């Protein structure tokens, strides 16, 4: 039986406030929670048992997968205190069903959207008789990732997590957050303390001469851990740039059947509109995620942004690369610039925030 572990215990701090109440893997991406896309992909690759390594808001994962599917067994390894990525893998390993010490265990970070062929990684692992196989990808700027140089044969030479100086950036080849571990190697990770698989386990295995191999591919790959990456990942799934067994034919928008979109509105770039949302006349929504029961009034423009459920966006407002928490109210004619995060429940009056000048009368006494 092919088994897998998914690491889903992180707090998703870079996606706050969306992650204040919802763990990152349970956020909605192209109409389904992100973790459901990953689970569908694992099932397509023949995985029959998945262990979730949970910690932050752990109970919500069990709720999400209540009565899920007879074809997949799900287990939950809950860390009362986060054990780090290596500790989480070791802890989740206790719930694996198989007892073959050489069995290949698939391990995924819970925030990676990738077109990689999982069976291909498993095949590469087996054919090389590796202890660990790491999926690697190339990125333009490797500083936010684990650097993994390999020799001509694909053998991993070193592992450097989040390089700090330009001299340390010796390659653009990075850890793509998907591994195959030989079961006995997984079981040898220390069980009595927090362990980082990136900072401790991989460097130790490489230095100790273990058979650690890289499997470098060119397919679509994105870590959805930041707001912009998150909206782009969702849009890529809708437009067909990225694929998931859960998303149908490529489209410019994914609009829930219960949403009401005015015929003069333009919803494009792979945007999603959640259940019960109301999109007014002449609104433009581009490459954005609009949550359930959100109302967007006439003439508002929303680009590369996320508006969480039950919020309202006033007429004529402009949002660019903004994250709006749930139950927020943005009045009319606001102009919200990139990088803004608006807390859940916040209220911004009409013309309260603008990059260009405001025509509203001054409300203070001079």
In the complex, which residue's CB is closest to Mg ion?
225
Report if residue 198 touches Mg ion, rule: CB under 5 A. Answer: no
Maximum distance among all Cα pairs of the chain, rounded to whole angstroms? 79
Q: Which of residues 132-161 bind ligand GDD (CB under 6 A)?
A: 145-146, 161
Of the candidates 45, 48, 82, 349, which one interacts with ligand GDD according to CB under 6 A? Answer: 82
Handedness of CA 111, 112, 117, 121 (dihedral sign): negative
Residue 142 binds Mg ion, judged by CB under 5 A: no
User: Is 9 near ligand GDD (CB under 6 A)?
Assistant: yes
Going residue by residue from 86 to 125, which x/- string records binding to ligand GDD, judged by CB under 6 A? --x--------------------xxxx-------------
Under the criterion CB under 5 A, does residue 111 sit at the interface with Mg ion?
yes
Instruction: Choose the binding region for ligand GDD from 3-11, 63-71, 254-262, 289-297 (rule: CB under 6 A).
Output: 3-11
CB nearer ligand GDD, residue 58 or residue 328: 58
159-to-90, 146, 172, 173 alpha-carbon distances in Å: 19, 7, 12, 11
Q: Work out whether 58 is an interface residue with ligand GDD (CB under 6 A).
A: no
- Dihedral of the alpha carbons of 300, 306, 308, 310, in degrees to the nearest 10: 10
Report, in Å, the least distance between residue 163 CB and Mg ion.
Answer: 16
Q: Are 5 and 215 in contact (CB under 8 A)?
A: no
Closer CB to ligand GDD, 145 or 230, in the complex: 145
* Rounded CA separation 267/41 (Å): 28
**Distance in Å, CB of 75 to ligand GDD, minimum:** 13
What is the three-class DSSP state of 119? helix
Q: Which residues pair with 138 in a beta bridge?
A: 173
Q: Which residues pair with 114 in a beta bridge?
A: 221
Strands of 58-216, DSSP E:
73-78, 104-109, 112-114, 132-138, 146-147, 160-161, 173-182, 212-216
Residue from 27, 29, 39, 53 in contact with ligand GDD (CB under 6 A): 53
In Å, how far are 23, 134, 194, 270, 285 from 87, measured between CA atoms?
19, 18, 5, 37, 42
How far apart (Å, rounded) are the C-alpha atoms in residues 77 and 88?
Answer: 8
Q: Taking the complex as a whole, how short is the minimal distance between the CB of residue 229 and Mg ion, in angstroms?
A: 9
Could you tell which of Mg ion, ligand GDD, none binds residue 83, using a CB distance below 5 to 8 A set by kind? ligand GDD
Task: Figure out which of the listed residues 9, 93, 225, 316 binds Mg ion, where binding follows CB under 5 A.
Answer: 225
Residues in the chain: 366
Q: Please, are residues 9 and 79 in contact by the beta-carbon 8 Å criterion?
A: yes
Instruction: Give φ, ψ of 129 to 5 degrees.
Output: 50, 45
Cα 246 from Cα 34, distance rounded (Å): 10
* Residues 203 to 242 in contact with ligand GDD, rule: CB under 6 A: 223, 225
Nearer to ligand GDD, 225 or 314 (CB): 225
By CB under 5 A, the count of residues binding Mg ion is 3
Q: Establish if 28 lies at the interface with ligand GDD (CB under 6 A).
A: no
Interaction between residue 12 and Mg ion (CB under 5 A): no
Task: Note if the bond before 17 is cis, omega within 30 degrees.
Answer: yes
CA distance 148 to 183: 22
Residue 145 contact among Mg ion, ligand GDD, none, beta carbon within 5 to 8 Å by kind = ligand GDD
Residues at the interface with ligand GDD (CB under 6 A):
7-10, 53, 55, 79, 82-85, 88, 109-112, 145-146, 161, 174-175, 177, 198, 223, 225
Residues at the interface with Mg ion (CB under 5 A):
111, 223, 225
């Amino acid at each position: 039986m092919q088994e897998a572990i998914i690491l889903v215990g992180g707090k998703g701090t870079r996606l706050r406030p969306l992650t204040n109440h919802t763990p990152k893997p349970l956020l909605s991406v192209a109409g389904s929670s992100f973790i459901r896309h990953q689970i569908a992909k694992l099932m397509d690759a023949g995985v029959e048992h998945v262990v979730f390594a949970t910690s932050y808001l752990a109970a919500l994962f069990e709720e999400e997968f209540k009565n899920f599917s007879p074809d997949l067994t799900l287990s939950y390894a809950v860390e009362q205190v986060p054990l780090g990525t290596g500790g989480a893998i070791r802890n989740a390993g206790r719930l694996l069903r198989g007892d073959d010490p050489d069995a290949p265990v698939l391990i995924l970070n819970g925030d990676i959207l990738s077109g990689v062929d999982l069976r291909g990684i498993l095949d590469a692992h087996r054919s090389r008789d590796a202890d660990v196989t790491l999926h690697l990808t190339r990125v333009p700027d490797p500083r936010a990732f684990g650097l993994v140089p390999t020799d001509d044969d694909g053998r991993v030479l070193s592992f450097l997590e989040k390089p700090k100086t330009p001299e340390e950036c010796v390659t653009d080849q990075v850890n793509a957050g998907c591994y195959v571990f030989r079961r006995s190697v997984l079981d040898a990770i220390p069980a009595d303390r927090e362990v980082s698989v990136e900072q401790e386990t991989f460097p130790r295995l490489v230095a100790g001469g273990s058979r650690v191999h890289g499997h470098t591919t060119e397919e679509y790959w994105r870590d959805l851990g930041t707001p912009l990456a998150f909206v782009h990942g969702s849009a890529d799934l809708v437009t067909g740039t990225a694929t998931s067994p859960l998303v149908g034919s490529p489209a410019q928008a994914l609009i829930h059947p219960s949403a009401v979109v005015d015929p003069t509105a333009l919803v494009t770039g792979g945007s999603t509109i959640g259940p019960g949302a109301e999109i007014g006349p002449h609104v433009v929504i581009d490459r954005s995620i609009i949550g359930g029961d959100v109302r967007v009034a006439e003439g508002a423009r929303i680009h590369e942004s996320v508006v969480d459920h039950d919020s309202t966006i006033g007429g004529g407002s402009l949002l660019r690369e903004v994250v709006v928490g749930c139950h927020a109210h943005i009045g009319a004619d606001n102009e919200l610039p990139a990088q803004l995060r608006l807390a859940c429940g916040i209220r911004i009056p009409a013309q309260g925030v603008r990059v260009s000048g405001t025509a509203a009368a001054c409300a203070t006494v001079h």
